[in-house]
Chains A and B, each alone.
Chain A
Amino acid sequence: MKTHQYPVDLTDEQIEEFGNELEAIRNEVFDSRGDRDRAYILKVIKTQRTMAVSSRFVIYLSLFFIPAWGHALATWPLALTIMGLGVFALGIAKILENMEIAHNVLHAQWDWMKDPEIQSNTWEWDTMSPSDRWMHSHNVVHHTWTNVLEKDLDVGYGIMRVTPMQKWKPAYLLQPIYFILLMLLFEEGVAIHEQAIDDHLKGKNKLKDFTPLLKRIGYKIWRQVAKDYIAWPLAAALVAIPISFYVPFSPLLVFGMVAGANAVANLIRNIWAFTIIFCGHFPAGAHNFTLEQVEGETRGRWYLRQMLGSCNIEGSKLFHILSGNLSHQIEHHLFPDMCSNRYKEVAPRVRALADRYSIPYNSASLFRQFGTTWLNNLRLAFPGGGEPYEGSQSQATPS
């Protein structure tokens, strides 16, 4: 019997059976977690911390090669090369922290270890968004309501039209610009990605209704700024002051170089995170859903929706780690709290299951996934592109 409205040719019973098979995979993996997994996350955390602190000292090191020092190796090309290495490593460290470590810890993937140092409810991450705020908008809203219009704030992030089902309005003409801006300022974008702020822009609430929330986000942003743009540059500049009596360079230059280096590292992280994350649900072939479609959704149908709405990226082992295993977006959405090192093991099984039930399994290269995301963004800036969706009854009536 087929009573559901999902775009697959399966009976209700088949969908439940499909769900049960996924559940079996999940249980099998969860039961087999052990020392190997703990060793993995401890190694990643140690590597990340070592990289983060040493890359900052490599950036400092490059300051000793500014031409003003006058020694044989003191040239701009060498100084900038060393600084570039430090910046690159810092960018990678931030990517590792945000994606493979924090994103997954905050998903409670490692809570089973009961290690008081690695718990979703106490972890704070190296980005401007406070972790508990993000956990709400991401774990609760996005992962429950994945790709459901009017529910999942991540469908277009409130500023973009990522599916023709969203009704066009003139503001979307600018969305290629938003696309680039969000890529460059992804960290800031995530920090203010809040239902309350979205509502405020639509005039649904007053600023003072969510002042405590803004203060909280503000404090997190201040500490992030204080670290990258005050503490580390200022320490270098303070050391540079006495030196500048003997070596003709300005402490301000030193401050600017270190702050600039950190800014570029943050930028690298922003662009990378944006690229990977936009490939999760926006490439060609990803489905979106309406509230009517998901009404009375069962566990099996929930699995089906996660699968239809998510897209994988193919790549090497290193690529998967640097993407926080979000390159296994399908597996991540099916099993959000499975520890990330296991996604690559279950991916072939999930794919085989999808083939057996003739459910599309959207997996392709980064080039294809990001390319179609970008083309999609350009196309949907203009009206049309597919069947619009007028909004559900329940939402259309004033609440």
Chain B
Amino acid sequence: MRQPTQPEPGASPSIWSRLSTITDYFAWPLRTSHYLELVNPLWTTHKLQARVVKVWDETKDARTLTLRPGLNWRGHRAGQHVRVGIPANGKHYTRTYTISSPPEREDDCFTITVKAIDKGTISHHIVRNIKVGDYLPIGLPQGDFYLPDAQPIQPLFITAGSGITPAFSMINSLIAQGRLPDTHHIHYAPHEFDVVLGKELKAMDRYNDRYHLHLIYSREGDDPSRNRFSAAQLDALCPDWKDRDVYACGPPSLLEAIEQCMAEAGCSRRLHVERFRAPFPEVPADAVGGRVRFAQSDVEADGDSDTPLLKVAEAAGMNPPHGCRMGICHTCNTTLVSGCVRDLRTGEVLNEAGSIVQTCICAAAGDCELDL
């Protein structure tokens, strides 16, 4: 695993960072890294990029990209996600994808598996247009959805659709380390031909005695509703599920059902969930929007009670800093000057001047003023 070039706090600066302080005098007002980029975009330190080295169509609407990250990359833990910058129609978009490959991969590359979702311009763009040789800006691995290192656990993975990716990375990582415990994996897909990474899953099932795969095709059979997740189904497929640590990743409806089932069985502590998109609770009917003022830009706009402030700002012609647009990366953090905003994920209301506001997941709750 490569070491990050940013020094750890307290550590003395590395030779490279000292050297680049000097060479930056030659490159001013740019940095040395901007010129290294001309030779090889993977050598940059001012931004991290990855080269697309392979594209592989998993299904008719899912594609796996193999990415070779630049020098500043550090290894991920199986199950973590990464932010990826995607240029589409001339614009730069940032999206977050789970890394689907295990960290034990030997060629320093990693993969992301993207499914084209309805109305998802960017996922469609990735699935259709990204080609080998493209360079994409990436972030560092993030997220706390990974297997604990220490205690031996018996995991049960419940995944659906492209929610397979973190589980795939975790299971493969355990196999690569030669310490796969007895593992059950229930995966939901509409049809057999829709199973993302299906071939690999079946191969893993065939060659590993301790890996038990249960593929469920939710739109096949006489009565598809019987194929939905339920406690009875769980009992049938994995009788000892109450003793297992459950790792779940999939659409909000599935996760809700699992959460409810685990709560009823009194095993909520054993449930670990990864959400692709934070589900926003119902905005109360009496919630009101208001006049949003962006102090630094001297712009005012109307924001309703469920439109994120970032969107309000963009609709008003501004381009405030932002990243993931789902409340993860905190690139969009700004300060509340006055007024009141609501966190759309938790429903929490922020009204203390000086509070940090994530504009991508907060909406106006009455009039408010932001330091943007």
Contacts and interface: CB of A to CB of B under 8 A. Distances in A.
Interface of A: 33-38, 46, 49-50, 53, 111-117, 119, 124-126, 223-224, 226-227, 230-232, 235
Contacts of A49: 30, 34-35, 38
B291 interface: no
A116 B38 CA distance: 18
A114 B319 contact: yes
Given A117-B46, A227-B25, 7 more contacts: A34-B90, A36-B90, A38-B90, A115-B87, A116-B85, A119-B319, A235-B26
A115 B88 CA distance: 11
By Cβ-Cβ distance, the 6 closest A-B pairs, closest first, are A124-B29, A38-B90, A34-B90, A231-B25, A115-B92, A114-B92
A236 B266 CA distance: 74
Contact of A53 (B28, B35, B47, B137): B35
Contact of B47 (A38, A50, A117): A117
A232 B27 CA distance: 10
B93 interface: yes
B225 interface: no
Interface of B: 25-30, 34-35, 38, 46-47, 85, 87, 89-93, 137, 319
- From A34, A116, A119, A124, name the one whose CB has the most chain B CB atoms within 10 angstroms: A116
A125 B91 CA distance: 23
Nearest to A222: B28
Contact of A114 (B28, B47, B93): B93
A123 to B, nearest CB: 9
Nearest to A40: B90
B26 A114 contact: no
B296 to A, nearest CB: 10
13 contacts: A35-B87, A35-B89, A38-B87, A38-B91, A113-B91, A113-B92, A114-B91, A114-B92, A115-B87, A116-B92, A125-B29, A223-B25, A232-B26
A60 to B, nearest CB: 12
A126 B31 CA distance: 12
B170 to A, nearest CB: 31
Contacts of A235: 26
A116 B28 contact: no
A125 B319 CA distance: 21
B133 to A, nearest CB: 15
B41 to A, nearest CB: 11
A134 to B, nearest CB: 13
A46 B90 contact: no
B29 A223 contact: yes
Nearest to A42: B87
Nearest to B23: A231
- From A33, A111, A113, name the one whose CB has the most chain B CB atoms within 10 angstroms: A113
A38 B35 CA distance: 20
A389 B89 CA distance: 51
A259 B313 CA distance: 47
B90 A37 contact: yes
A126 B90 CA distance: 26
Nearest to A130: B29
Given A224-B28, A227-B25, A231-B25, A111 B319 contact: yes
Contact of A35 (B27, B29, B90, B137): B90
Nearest to A127: B29
A53 to B, nearest CB: 5
Contacts of A224: 28
A126 B38 contact: no
Contact of A126 (B29, B89, B137): B29
Contacts of B28: 223-224, 226-227
Nearest to B321: A116
Contacts of B85: 116
A223 B26 CA distance: 9
A320 to B, nearest CB: 21
A49 to B, nearest CB: 6
B371 to A, nearest CB: 14
Contacts of B93: 114
A112 B91 contact: yes
A126 B34 CA distance: 14
Contacts of B319: 111-112, 114, 119
B34 to A, nearest CB: 6
Nearest to A234: B25
Contacts of A231: 25-26
B90 A113 contact: yes
